[in-house]
Structure 1
């Protein structure tokens, strides 16, 4: 009975890890889309949203870059932890590899890279 309970908990844990990976990936993509939109607006010299100055719009971009950096760090830590904790490391391997492949494709397409050196100076504050 204890063995079946352990196996059940193992399955639940893997599902939760998978959901966490998907959440982090989805959040990262959403932030990247917002940053990309702001960069497009700024490069086209189009006006920022109503009730927002140009400086505020650029500040929003900086905050989103910082958020993306935090999400990327969380993703790296989660994937590393999940690989080390699982008794069957292949349980999430397809999920993690799929996410890593999507990131590589985005970088090749010229989208925002996951390593952001621009915000490193903000960490000291």
Structure 2
């Protein structure tokens, strides 16, 4: 499975995710319009805006509501807190500070530098 984000600053955005979540790059796929990183069994891809046209897609318009949110699993509360600190230091913004969900997950919600929603979740607090 692969999920992708499109961004005018796709390289900087890919480096944000690489650095915060310590994702290894799929170097063979690197191009002037794409970067890919593995998160477990899922590839997280970052495409230049030019990829919309290449794929025959309409470009998403600024100001639209959240359509998706990445959820990254953290093994411990401390790991989640550390990940959140790294994200904020690299241009992420907090939406909801760490909290316990009704289903007993420790979670924080933030946005990446492009404004995409990210959930950090520790499922075994």
TM-score by length of 1: 0.24
Instruction: From the two aligned structures, give the one with the greater strand fraction.
Output: 2
Q: Tell which structure's C-alpha radius of gyration is larger.
A: 1
TM-score by length of 2: 0.24
Instruction: From the two aligned structures, give the one with the greater helix fraction.
Output: 1
